[in-house]
Amino acid sequence: MVKCDREFEILLKDFLRTEGKNFSSKEEAIEVFERLYDLIEEGYDIDAPLGDIVDSIDEGEISTVDKLSALRELHEENKDALERAIRLGEDIMYSDDDEDTEQMILADVLAGYYREAGMYNEAEKLYKFMLAASPSDFSEVTDELTKVYVHLNSESLMQNHIECFDYEKSEVTLLLLSIFGINREKFDEAHYYMTKLKKLNTYTGNIFKGGFKNVSDYIIGAPKNEKGANKEKTFEIHYAATIAKEYLLNRYHYEILERLYESEMERRQYLIVEGRFNISKEMMKKDPIFIGMERQLNKFINVELYNKEIIEEYTEKELKKLDGIGATVIQKLKNNGVKLKED
């Protein structure tokens, strides 16, 4: 309960004088102030820099609900610098004003609370807002966004997201995409991304060296300076593990990821998954191997025969076992230059 004493009245008057213009009404400003005033005993200082206020709320001994509520109110009244950066096409992180940077930190802390609370749509909006205000923070914010999309479990959102950057050069993204495939029980896609991760970073196996019982120690600890190791690569895979720790500390996810890491993906299946992601029906219409079979493209798509490279991984006998692919279709493919594997 807020104390209606002299100290409260003085502080409220000062708050309305300095911050009142940022609210739509006096009543709204008083309501926000009352919530913040309740945090004084937890170390909150109304005259403190924004960063100190955020720390006081984040580290205070109050409920997570109250923390989230206070941070949300604080963000609503301290986001003008971010909005200005977006409007002017600037980057907030290059601002000379410390409070501008602190507004970004506040947004980041709040987004983290949204994510931890399972408020993934709110977290997504805020991370996108941060990206627009600070493009130089692209990598870190993008990593958090990828994790949000894993939780949202939406293929379309994830696909649109990874099309915005070169995800194949990000250990974090590839590991999270492998986890995304596991969550959706598309294990060939999980294997596909794990294969890409292994190719990108030869130290991926560091995650699995000690088995499940030691993965927590690996995540908490610092990357080991192995003799002759590439420090940057060992750091990147360790960082990826810390971002994905909630899954790596789950035995189900860990054991599947370990199995995928230890096994080689068959070339045919790798090409199929790649075709699934990258080849459209419109692209297939222009492919010379499908000349004369334009009306039958759906048959090829249904059995995931997206291009010549995939089809040539099959023998004639194997193709005939696929729905809609009979002797006539196979002969047309041969006439168009396809060379099948020998039986």
Percent of the chain with pLDDT over 90: 70
What distance in Å separates the CA atoms of residue 222 and residue 241, rounded to the nearest whole number? 11
Q: How do residues 144-196 score in pLDDT, each as one tens digit?
A: 999 999 999 999 999 999 999 999 999 999 999 999 999 999 999 999 999 99
Q: Residue 3 has what pLDDT?
A: 44
Q: Residue 46 has what pLDDT?
A: 46
Cβ-based neighbours of 303, under 8 Å, separated by 6 or more: 322, 323, 324, 325
* pLDDT band at residue 225 under the 50/70/90 scheme: low
DSSP state of 335: H
Q: How many helices (H) and strands (E) does the chain have?
A: 21, 0
Cβ-based neighbours of 229, under 8 Å, separated by 6 or more: 203
* pLDDT band at residue 93 under the 50/70/90 scheme: confident
* DSSP per residue, 169-207: G-HHHHHHHHHHHHHTT-HHHHHHHHHHHHHH-TTGGGG
**Among 241, 179, 172, 163, which Cα is nearest to 200's?**
172
What distance in Å separates the CA atoms of residue 231 and residue 250, rounded to the nearest whole number? 27
What distance in Å separates the CA atoms of residue 106 and residue 129, rounded to the nearest whole number? 12
- Across all residues in the chain, what is the average pLDDT? 89
Q: How do residues 261-277 score in pLDDT, each as one tens digit?
A: 999 999 999 999 999 99
The top-scoring range by mean pLDDT among 54-68, 98-112, 128-142, 324-338 is: 324-338
Q: Residue 1 has what pLDDT?
A: 35
Q: Residue 44 has what pLDDT?
A: 46
Tell me which of 102 and 222 has the higher pLDDT.
102
pLDDT beyond 70 at 258: yes
Q: Token pair for residue 278?
A: 């990258």
Q: Residue 97 has what pLDDT?
A: 85
* pLDDT band at residue 30 under the 50/70/90 scheme: confident
315 φ, ψ (degrees, to nearest 5): -90, 165
Q: Residue 59 has what pLDDT?
A: 82
Stretch among 138-142, 201-205, 283-287, 308-312 having the lowest mean pLDDT: 138-142
Cβ-based neighbours of 47, under 8 Å, separated by 6 or more: none
Q: Give Cα 91 to chain centroid, integer Å.
A: 21
What distance in Å separates the CA atoms of residue 89 and residue 83, rounded to the nearest whole number? 10
Segment 10-16 mean pLDDT: 73
Q: Token pair for residue 76?
A: 């609503």
* pLDDT band at residue 257 under the 50/70/90 scheme: very high
Stretch among 104-108, 145-149, 154-158, 219-223 having the lowest mean pLDDT: 219-223
Q: Residue 2 has what pLDDT?
A: 43
Segment 231-251 mean pLDDT: 95
